[in-house]
Amino acid sequence: MLIPVSYLLLSDFTAQNTLIIILVLCMYLSDLLDGYLARKLGQVSELGKIIDPLADKISVIVISLILLYLDKIPLWFVSVVVIRDLLIFSFGIYLDKKKDIRLMSNYPGKIAVFSIGVIILFAVINNSYLLKLNYYLYFVSLILIFYSSYLYFKRFKKSLDYNNEL
């Protein structure tokens, strides 16, 4: 759904916002449903642990960059999100290749991603009240991003230390 969302965001189609909002919500809900069903049905795979977060990161980065280009979200916020995702992805690849370890996302990280998604959604909706609310969401989201990143990197370091002792 990333390709149609990207196309609609960049097009001049006048009724695009409603369709974009529906598609973004479908992206989010399908991601939640996929993860829930995989855990509930015991269908969690090592490949899925890599591909699902990668697809999420690609989607968030692409949509954020488009919204930045459209001047709907600030550069500093996109920079924080992109740097966070690239670092987590890089450290994840390192652990997978060198230590055969895959760190699952943490709960604060899931809340941080949700807050980023809400900011993106509000930017797409482009309602003046919601955009004012976004200023507060930026602050909350930054706290969640830094806190969840701290917890992730702490687990990353512990995984490195643990394997060095073996």
Q: What per-residue confidence (pLDDT) applies to 3?
A: 92
Tens of pLDDT, residue by residue over 70-99, are 999 999 999 999 999 888 888 888 887 877
Query: Rounded to two decimals, what is the model's pTM?
Result: 0.83
Q: Which of 49, 55, 48 is nearest to 28 (CA)?
A: 55
Angle at 140 between CA 154 and CA 48, to 5 degrees: 50
pLDDT over threshold 80, residue 100: no
Residue 166 confidence (pLDDT) above 50 = no
Mean pLDDT confidence for 22-39: 84
- Residue 9, H or E segment: helix 2-10
Q: Which residues contact 79 (CB under 8 A, 6 or more apart)?
A: none
pLDDT > 90 fraction of the chain, expressed in percent and rounded:
25
